[in-house]
Structure 1
Amino acid sequence: MAKIREKLYVTVPSLFRCPISMDVMRSPVSLCTGVTYDRASIQRWLDSGHDTCPATMQVLPSKDFIPNLTLHRLIHLWLLSSEPPSPEPSPDNLRSLLRQIQNADDDLAVTLSKIAEFATISVENRQKLAAFPGFDSSVVRTLAGCSSRIDASENAICLLDSVLRENGNPEKIRRLILDAREQCFGSMVFILRNGSVKSKIETVRVLEFLASDFKSSKLIAETQGLLPLVAGFLKDGGEELSNAVLSLLGVVSVTHSAKVELVNCGVVEFVSKLLRTCSSATTAERCLRVLAVVATCAEGRAAIAAEPSCAAAVVERVTKAAKAAAEDAVAVLWSLCCLSGNVKVRDDVAKRNGVAVILLVMQRGWEEHVRSMCVDLIKVLKGACENNGLGLKLGSYDTKTTHIKPC
């Protein structure tokens, strides 16, 4: 019997234990002292008024902490290898878990964690949740009511993102969230400020899902502090988060005030740098979409023109982009060179063989308004070439555009 007990006993690596609770960390985060704790434990410690690191008793110059993603992955792999798979909840168990959510008891974070774990196992599980009566309203209600509980908020947004991807009842979920938008958006902003990268990505995806029409997009854009917050992720948020943010900004920037707010918080600089340096075609195309949106206002055009190499980066990408993104690139160049008549940008585009690039783009077959923009661009760029003594270098392009007769 003793030997059997020894085999069943699992030694937890000390590195995986929270120095406060001594339990295996669910969400490891590191203080500025370099010591890692479970998020819930250190948050309670700091919220109770302490200003020291519990392990070292050093006074903290900053109470901020960052997710320890490497340790989180190691703990997750260890749990998978050391714990037997838990049985899937039965319908009765799911109902019981939903009742616990609805009652908002003290174990709310634990309950949501159990359901979120169930959802991550398989597509079939997510489909079960999506179809389960009362699931969507329970999770939305939870999100609306836990704007100061990061673990509960993150699990709620994870579940919402899972349900939306499995097409549970999207219109109902959209209506539920928008009906409680002040509380729900408050929780989402809380996650964007304090959550893990994964939960930030999920939140941005949920926000994009909500932006189904002009009114919804306007409500999201008008949420105080939201646009500068998400735009800031473009600076150093990582590729997946940046892609999610770019996609969101491309659909929520529907009003003049939203576009101006983006310009004021530096989005043109961030997007321009991404466009110049990214290797992903998807990222580049989403950058072009955001620039095309911003270029529809005078403030946006001025910011793009003032950003070094932005127009050149657009010229570089236009022939490599998919058709929709190429149209965005043409719109940006037309806005700068024709609508604004910015001489500096026009000359820069002309020097980069802009006429040949636009002629090449015109071969793709366009709607009349895009062809019209292309013809306008060729006119002003040819004029710039003539004024600056530049020859038209068409030899390197097999344009086959004998039918094009720009004036």
Structure 2
Amino acid sequence: MVREDLYITVPSFFRCPISLDVMKSPVSLCTGVTYDRSSIQKWLDNGNNTCPATMQVLQNKDIVPNHTLKRLIQIWSDSVNTLSDSSSSDSPPSLSKEQAQELVKEIERDDCSNQFDSLSKIICFASELEENRKFLARIDGFLSVTVNVLCNAGEELRVLERVIRILELILIDFEDKEKMSRLLSNSDFLSSILFVFQQGSLNSKIRSARVLELIAFDAESKLTIASNDAVLSELVNSMTSNSDSNLNDAVLSCLVSVTLPKRTRSKITKLGVVQKLTQKLGDPNSTVTIIEKSLKLLEMVSMCTEGRTEICDDPLCIPAVVQKLLKVSTASSEHAVVILWRVCHVFRDQRAEEAVTKSNGLTKILLLMQSNCSGHVREMSSDLLKIFRVNSKSCLSFYDTKTTHIMPF
């Protein structure tokens, strides 16, 4: 039950100037004004060439993700959720830094029966200010104390969820990477995170994926996380057709982070990640961010032989990739071109070439070359056109890829 006296004030700069709702995917125009991606995209798709807030004529229609604002909105949203979760009882009073430091010592001494309340107070303290989070991160031994609770709480889910929340808050500002790397030396660490991911609330699942992404900061930590088959399998399998978009976003970010090593790319391919990503690309409810990250992960998978084979074996994958060319964002178009270049130009798979042709991929590649794409994307697009110029029996066989405009057919 939500308390009747719990009123939430939304900071004005968190609201989209068009929809007036809290922004889910904030992006900025060349005028410097930030909007929610879905709202400004509809405005631009309707043929408008001005900034809705300033009415300035746009020099270009590029939209740039505002990652800083998105993170601030996420922190604020999580703080609101924390207050809502504890709304059945009186909110604990704000702590001073000295009280927070003393509370850390109490957590180290207490057993699970008392730790829950102490951890909840620490979360409220950390959620209030960025300065508080940095203060906690600097407390000598705080990270070790928190991880010890995580590894020794067994199946006390509510305690584990509180610890995951604290880790998500402080690891962002944690500067001692050597201490972070030691987290994975405890064999129970990943097992506890996996338990929360499997049994916890939706918010806890999302936070668990974020914690994994935060600690995957170097090659060794990425390999350690990926070597845990249960964790990797759970992440891939969580991307179902009816899973929450925020969970999908967090899981995709985590998988992109840990999939850098070659052996991991092969592992997630065998776990069926290509089919999962194809579903995300074909889902009309997928957000721009999810599409971009799906294509990014698919691009990484296409770097290994197993990944390229799976992409070519899946009859829906190449058409789904082609569909996202010039349709979503500059980033998604670039990821899509790299994928097509690898399977068609490097791997020379006949099925992939036919799938591109049947999906009207040639026209889209031509249009992409006429756009303001980067030099390496233009070069890869040219390589693709040379393949189809030789193989195609259409009039595209005579198209000179050095031209700077599209000739009428």
SS of the counterpart of 1:212? coil
Structure 2 equivalent of residue 169 of structure 1: 175
Aligned match of 2:374 in 353, 366, 369? 366
Structure 2 equivalent of residue 146 of structure 1: 153
On the 8 A contact 2:295/2:332 being kept in 1, the answer is yes
Structure 2 equivalent of residue 137 of structure 1: 144
On the 8 A contact 2:280/2:286 being kept in 1, the answer is no
**1:293 correspondence with 2:297:** no
Q: CA RMSD in A?
A: 3.3
Give, in whole Å, the separation in 2 of the partners of 1:227 and 1:78.
29
Structure 1 equivalent of residue 39 of structure 2: none
On the 8 A contact 1:146/1:152 being kept in 2, the answer is yes
Cα–Cα, structure 1 residues 88 and 131, in superposed 2: closer, same or farther, change >3 Å?
Answer: farther
Amino acid paired to 2:167: L
Structure 2 equivalent of residue 354 of structure 1: 361
Cα–Cα, structure 1 residues 185 and 169, in superposed 2: closer, same or farther, change >3 Å?
Answer: same
After the TM superposition, which segments of 4 or more aligned residues of structure 1 sit over 6 Å from their partners? Answer: 73-76
**1:335 correspondence with 2:342:** yes
What is the Cα deviation at residue 287 of structure 1?
0.5
Give, in whole Å, the separation in 2 of the partners of 1:324 and 1:174.
31
**1:232 correspondence with 2:237:** yes
On the 8 A contact 1:355/1:382 being kept in 2, the answer is no
Cα–Cα, structure 1 residues 104 and 83, in superposed 2: closer, same or farther, change >3 Å?
Answer: closer
On the 8 A contact 1:140/1:176 being kept in 2, the answer is no
On the 8 A contact 1:346/1:384 being kept in 2, the answer is no
Cα–Cα, structure 1 residues 211 and 168, in superposed 2: closer, same or farther, change >3 Å?
Answer: closer
Amino acid paired to 1:207: L
- Of residues 359-368 and 309-318 in structure 1, the stretch that sits farther from structure 2 once superposed is 359-368
**1:157 correspondence with 2:159:** no
Structure 2 equivalent of residue 211 of structure 1: 216
Give, in whole Å, the separation in 2 of the partners of 1:173 and 1:237.
34
Structure 2 equivalent of residue 186 of structure 1: 191
**1:313 correspondence with 2:315:** no
What is the Cα deviation at residue 128 of structure 1?
4.0
Cα–Cα, structure 1 residues 255 and 132, in superposed 2: closer, same or farther, change >3 Å?
Answer: closer
On the 8 A contact 1:349/1:381 being kept in 2, the answer is no
In the superposition, the TM-score normalised over structure 1's length comes to 0.70
**1:99 correspondence with 2:99:** no
On the 8 A contact 1:314/1:329 being kept in 2, the answer is yes
Give, in whole Å, the separation in 1 of the partners of 2:145 and 2:202.
24
Structure 2 equivalent of residue 48 of structure 1: none
On the 8 A contact 1:104/1:142 being kept in 2, the answer is no
Percent pairwise identity: 31
Amino acid paired to 1:308: P
Higher Cα radius of gyration: 1
Give, in whole Å, the separation in 1 of the partners of 2:215 and 2:82.
34
Structure 2 equivalent of residue 116 of structure 1: 123
After superposition, where does 1:237-316 map in structure 2 within 5 Å? 237-277=243-283, 278-316=285-323
SS of the counterpart of 1:234? coil
Aligned match of 1:382 in 382, 389, 398? 389
Cα–Cα, structure 1 residues 172 and 78, in superposed 2: closer, same or farther, change >3 Å?
Answer: closer
On the 8 A contact 1:109/1:151 being kept in 2, the answer is yes
- Of residues 104-113 and 269-278 in structure 1, the stretch that sits farther from structure 2 once superposed is 104-113
SS of the counterpart of 2:392? helix
Structure 1 equivalent of residue 404 of structure 2: 402
Amino acid paired to 1:402: T
